[in-house]
Chain A
């Protein structure tokens, strides 16, 4: 069975292994160095335990565990406040009309404005999963478990949620948007900058970007066509998030121009369709396959299970799932349809 739970220090090696398979990704918040990752897990545990005040930007890291083998096969994170106390950089894609009344002409000019507008909104991040698990139920579980966590701890998070989707990257690892813009100011390729980004912070790198707006028409054609385009590998994730109610607005990633998806927290599908129920037992597995989440804070667990609902808000779930969730009959759980 698949289980999503808070990441523990013992997961370090396995997470590093997954992070290594993900390729260069400046905006990923999943470190590839063990020291940085150990810190992140430490911080996440403190956040789950409620020891990180809202002003210090709690960050949560979940892992996907195969309960049969005990292996960790994916990660997913939530930053309660994008930017984590620092400015959160994006480009806002906007348009200006350059017009002359005397000459009777006007022209639409597209401009990328550096923006901090999304700072402090809740950010879904650090999503990674073993490639063979893409497009499976485990994939959906890992992604949506976070929304159930938000539903259970609604006041920890802001009224809007954003996700950065990885942008276009060629097979050789080059990123057209980076090469057309940021490269000139860093004199380094995307991969190198990515390594720095993991050690320092995304904000640190972003602050070296030019502070002025950028005219889209002066970018290379490849870079222009990459604006707001998701990497093909992210398609399953992109579609899942769209079903969840996220949509691409005018914000782009500052390094690879991937789209930033936005949603109102209270409109997220998983949040709206989930319900609190009381746990009851049965021996066999029958009924619809659902996401089931239980436990507060550090005890949060989320799994996939077959459930049968009764008319009086009780939920019949196999005992195997009880143990997985660390719950017993009569405890409250939250379910959402798959």
Chain B
């Protein structure tokens, strides 16, 4: 069974292997043991509520329970830009117009900005190759929206994701070559690596502060502003299906887009419903295709767990589950759980029951109160 749970200290080896295999482009998870260990420690502090809410780093592991092995990771950073400066370029337009000259020219312009400061970011998604397909990626990504939804007061109203921008197979970024490198004697891959090690703000200090008029850059660089790396296109489509949109911000190094959404508008959030767990001894066929499965979470702050079960298990007030699933979720019969669709285009049996559960808000309130204690 594949279960989402908070990242733990003993995941370090699995995480390191994954980061190594991921190669270039994953700036928030460089293959650096010491740094990864720090990240895990930070995540543990966060789940145990030993750090300020705005300093939180929520990292989740996807565990293959048979192999007792972490095969994927995803994360939420509670707030960006609070202890360092968070930079983006805002892609805007400068218009030059003169009736006398018959001139009306629109010039796309990059303005350095810190607009994302104090906003929650979803980040660090990584999945082992052998688990790709079959909905694991969706589970890793969407479980975060269930978490954001449950514990909204720990996060900002808006949540964003930085998408990886265009670079070639040698790790060269056209935008970096045309812009960043002119101000900083460094290869993109090196700058990218440094930024993963937490030096991004220092590098940003060396970057141009005045607006950059895009027509002054070569075509190759202009073409990649706001574009994602081809490997990231599926992730972008997934976020778009959740209701995320390009917000006009791009990465200062590779020009990759920032997409954002209000948490209450995220599809997973809108389509979630509450049920009570009902453990059944009758056999349940768990092995159904991804499109017929739904996500189910235990709604816990400290030990948040999510797995998938067949949509057919959903009843009007309850959701039935075999003991193995209940154990993985660490719930007992009668415990509240929350459900959300896994696939965009699958049947949404959840929706047919929506609106019946008046206890929804009450339960949520109760849960977030208890998480605080």
Query: Do A and B belong to a common assembly?
Result: yes
Known A-B contacts A208-B98, A213-B210; the reply to A187 vs B183 at CB < 8 A is: no
Q: Closest Cβ of chain A: how far from B158's Cβ, in Å?
A: 29
B101 touches A196 (CB 8 A): yes
Which residues 177-235 in B have Cβ within 8 Å of A in the complex? 179, 182-185, 194, 199, 202-203, 205-208, 210-213, 215-217
Q: Does chain B have a CB within 8 A of A218?
A: yes
Residue of B at shortest CB range from A104? B202
Q: Does chain B have a CB within 8 A of A329?
A: no
| Consensus secondary structure, chain B interface | mixed
A184 touches B105 (CB 8 A): yes
A208 surroundings in chain B (CB, below 8 A) = 96, 98, 101, 103
Known A-B contacts A105-B206, A210-B94; the reply to A217 vs B100 at CB < 8 A is: no
A-B pair count, CB < 8 Å, reads 82
Contact of B107 among A185, A200, A215 (CB under 8 A): A185
A304 and B351 CA atoms in complex are apart in Å by: 99
B208 touches A100 (CB 8 A): no
Contact of B216 among A184, A200, A205 (CB under 8 A): A184
Contact of A218 among B184, B194, B203, B212 (CB under 8 A): B212
B216 touches A180 (CB 8 A): yes
Residue of B at shortest CB range from A207? B98
B184 surroundings in chain A (CB, below 8 A) = 98, 105, 107
Q: Does chain B have a CB within 8 A of A311?
A: no
**Interface residues in B, total, Cβ within 8 A:** 28
A184 and B216 CA atoms in complex are apart in Å by: 8
| Consensus secondary structure, chain A interface | mixed
A218 touches B182 (CB 8 A): yes
B216 touches A109 (CB 8 A): no
Chain B interfacial positions (CB closer than 8 Å to A): 94, 96, 98, 100-101, 103, 105, 107, 179, 182-185, 194, 199, 202-203, 205-208, 210-213, 215-217
A107 touches B216 (CB 8 A): no
Q: Closest Cβ of chain A: how far from B112's Cβ, in Å?
A: 11
B183 surroundings in chain A (CB, below 8 A) = 98, 107, 109, 215, 217
Known A-B contacts A109-B183, A218-B216; the reply to A98 vs B96 at CB < 8 A is: no
Q: Does chain B have a CB within 8 A of A171?
A: no
Of B101, B210, B212, most buried by chain A (CB within 10 Å of CB) is: B101
B107 touches A184 (CB 8 A): yes
Q: Does chain B have a CB within 8 A of A68?
A: no
B215 touches A102 (CB 8 A): no
16 A-B contact pairs sorted by A residue (CB < 8 Å):
A98-B184, A98-B206, A100-B205, A105-B185, A107-B183, A184-B105, A187-B103, A187-B105, A204-B98, A205-B101, A213-B210, A214-B213, A215-B208, A215-B212, A217-B182, A218-B217
A215 surroundings in chain B (CB, below 8 A) = 182-183, 208, 210, 212
A196 and B100 CA atoms in complex are apart in Å by: 9
B208 surroundings in chain A (CB, below 8 A) = 109, 215
Known A-B contacts A100-B202, A103-B199; the reply to A186 vs B185 at CB < 8 A is: no
4 more contacts with CB within 8 A, not counting A98-B183, A185-B105, A188-B103, are A180-B216, A181-B216, A187-B103, A215-B210
